[in-house]
Structure 1
Amino acid sequence: MYFIQPTRDIAYLDQVLDTLPSVQMIRIEDIHLYDPTIIAIADVQDYLNHKWSLPTIVLAFDQEGSALSQAWEQGALAGWIWNRLPENPQAALLRIDAKYKRNQDSRDLPSAAELQQRLLPNPIELPNYQIETLFKPSAYLSGDWYDYWKISDKEIIFYLADVSGHGVTSSLLTSWMAAFHGRSKTPRELLKKLNGMLVQENIEKHITMLAGILNLDTHQIRWSSAGHYPPAIIFEKNQPPKVLNTSSFPLGLTEDLEVEEFECTLNRDARFIICSDGALEPFTGGLSEQFEQLVFHLQNQSFQAPEHVADDIAILSLRRMK
C-alpha cells in the first residue's frame, strides 16, 4: 500500500509510519505514476484538496470531523485519527483491502454479464425451422446456458444446461461449456465429455443438461438427458403435449455415467421445447402443479418471465414451420 507524504506538519507522522512498516511512501505530485487500484493512506486535507482517484484511507485530527465527512462523501474508504489508530492497523488494512476488492468485483459484474450475453449463440437461418430462446439471469450472471450450432448442412446440435447454484462460479462453468463443446458431434459424446471433465477436475458443481441433434431433412431429433428437469416437451396443434420423461444422473456426480439416446420426429408446426427449472418459479403449488402450469402457458404461448426472478431462466425452442 502507499502512504502519501503529507503537505502539512504532522507531529504523529513517524509514530504512524512505525506501525505501518509495509507501506511505500510516495509524493502527491507522483501519484499518477502509481497503480490506481492499490489503496493509499493520506492526510484528509490533502485528499480533499487534490481529489485523486486512488482508493484512500484518510487520517484526520480529533477536531476535523467535518473534513472526515467530506472525505467520505468524496469516496474515502475509511477515516482514522492520527493519534488514535485502530488497535491492529495492519489487520485493519487487510480487512479494508479485502472489502475494497470485493466491491470492485461487484462493480465489474455488469460488464461480466454483458460479456456472458455476447457468448450466447447468434441466430442462424435454417430451412423450415425457427429457433426461439429466452435467457433471464436472476442476478447479473447466469448458471443456465443454451447453445446450438451446425455440424453439417443437414444437422444442428443443441443443448440447454443448468449449473447447480448461482453466482460467478456457476457462470464460469457456462463459459467453459461454450468454449468446450465444439469438438462433440453427438449428444451422448457431448454429455460424456463434459461429465469426464467435471469429475476429473473435481469441481464441486453438478450440471443438468439436455442435448440433441436435429436432422433438417428427416425432421428427426436424437437427444439425451443428464438429470435435467423439467423434461423436454413436444407441442403439436390439436394434440395433447408430449412430455419426454427420462431417468438419469446429472453431470459431475459419477465417472460411470450411463447416457441413453432417444428419438422423436417433429411434424409440421410442432415445437420441441427445453426449459431450465427456473421456468417453474412463476407458478404456485408443488412441483407437479408448477409443471402443469408451465406446460399450459408454453402450449398457449403465454409464458412470461417475471421482472425479478430468484432463479435463472433459460428456454430453447425448435419449431418446425408449416
Structure 2
Amino acid sequence: MYFIQPTRNIPNLDQVLDTLPSLQMINIEDIHLYDPTIIAIADVNDFLDYQWSLPTIVIAYEHEGAQLSQAWEMGALAGWLWSRLPVNPEKALSKIDAQYKRNQDSRDLPSAAALQKKLLPNPIELQNYKVETLFQPSAYLSGDWYDYWKISDKEVIFYLADVSGHGVTSSLLTSWMAAFHGRSKTPRELLKKLNGMLLQENIEKHITMLAGVLNLETHHLKWSSAGHYPPAIIFEPNQPPRILNTSSFPLGLTADFEIEEQECVLSRYARFIICSDGALEPFDGGLNEQFTQLLFHLQNQSFEAPEHVADDIAILSFQRMN
C-alpha cells in the first residue's frame, strides 16, 4: 500500500508511520505513476484538495469532522484520526483492502454481463425458418447458454445448456463452451467433446444440455439430451404438443456416456422449442404443474419472463415457415 507524503506539517508523523505496516512513501506529484487499484493512506486535506483517483484512507485531526464527512462523500474508503489510529492498523488495513476488492468485483459485474451477452450468437437468417431466443439471467451473469451455427448451406447445429449452480464460475463455463465446442458437426460429437473436456479439466460442475441438427431443406431434425429438463417440445397447428423425451447423464459426471439420438421431420409451421429449467420458475406447483403451464404459454405464445427471476432463463425456438 501507499502512504502519500502530507503537504502540511504533521507533528507526530514519524510516530504514526512507526505504527503502520511497511508502506511505500510517494509524493502527490507522482501519484499518476502508481497503480490506481492499490489503497493509499493520506492526509484528509490533501485528498480534498487534489482529488486523486486512488482508493484512499484519509487521516484527520479530531476537530476536522466536516472534512472527514466531505471525504467520505467523495469516496474515501475510511477515516482515521492522527491522534488515535486503530489498535491493530495492519488488521484494519487488511479488512478494508478485502472489502474494497469485493466492491470492485461487484462493480465489474455489469461489464462482465455485457461481455457475456456479446458472446451469444448473432441473429441468423435461415432458409424456410424463423429463429427466436430469450436470454434472461437471474443476476448479472447467467449459467444458461445457447448457441447455433451453420455446418453447411442446408444444415444448422444448435444447443441449449444449463450449468449447475449460479454465479461467476457457472457463467465462466458458458463462455468456455462458446469458445471450445470446436464447431462440432453432430449432436453426438458435440456432447462427447464437451463431456470429455469437463472430465479432463476436472471441473467440479455438471452441465445439462440438449443439442440438435436441423436440415433446412428436408426439415429433418435430429437431437440428443444430456440430462436436460424440461424436454424439447414441438408445437404444430391444431395438434397437441409433442414432448420429446430423451436423456442420458449430464455432462461432466462420467466417461461412461451413452447418448440417445431421436429424429423426426418438422411439418409446415411447426415450432421446435427448448428451454432451461428457469422457464418453469414463473409458475406455481410442482414440476408437472409448472411444465403444464409452461406448455400452455409457449403454445399460445404468451410466455413472459418476470422482470426479476429466481433462476436463469434461456429459450431457443426454430419455426418452419413454409
Q: Same fold (TM over 0.5)?
A: yes
Distance in 2 (CA, whole Å) between partners of 1:281 and 1:40 is 46
Q: Alpha-carbon deviation of 1:20?
A: 2.5
- Aligned partner of 1:312 in structure 2 is 312
Q: Deviations over 1:121-179 (max 9, x none)?
A: 11121111111101111111111100000001121100000111111111111011001
What residue identity is the alignment partner of 1:170?
A: S
- Aligned partner of 1:15 in structure 2 is 15
Q: Alpha-carbon deviation of 1:51?
A: 1.2
Normalised TM-score (structure 1): 0.97
CA RMSD of aligned residues (A): 1.1
**Aligned ranges 1:1-322 → 2 under 5 Å:** 1-322=1-322
What residue identity is the alignment partner of 1:236?
A: E
* SS in structure 1 of the partner of residue 314 of structure 2: strand
What residue identity is the alignment partner of 1:148?
A: Y
What residue identity is the alignment partner of 1:63?
A: H
Distance in 1 (CA, whole Å) between partners of 2:11 and 2:288 is 73
Distance in 2 (CA, whole Å) between partners of 1:152 and 1:197 is 25
Normalised TM-score (structure 2): 0.97
Q: Alpha-carbon deviation of 1:249?
A: 1.3
Q: Percent of pairs identical after alignment?
A: 82
* SS in structure 2 of the partner of residue 182 of structure 1: coil
Structure 1's consecutive aligned runs of 4 or more residues displaced over 4 angstroms after TM superposition are none
Distance in 2 (CA, whole Å) between partners of 1:203 and 1:72 is 42
What residue identity is the alignment partner of 2:127?
A: P
Aligned length: 322
Q: Alpha-carbon deviation of 1:182?
A: 3.0
Distance in 1 (CA, whole Å) between partners of 2:224 and 2:21 is 61
Bigger mean CA offset, 203-212 vs 245-254:
245-254
Q: Alpha-carbon deviation of 1:250?
A: 0.9
Distance in 2 (CA, whole Å) between partners of 1:191 and 1:22 is 53
Q: Alpha-carbon deviation of 1:64?
A: 1.9
What residue identity is the alignment partner of 2:131?
A: I
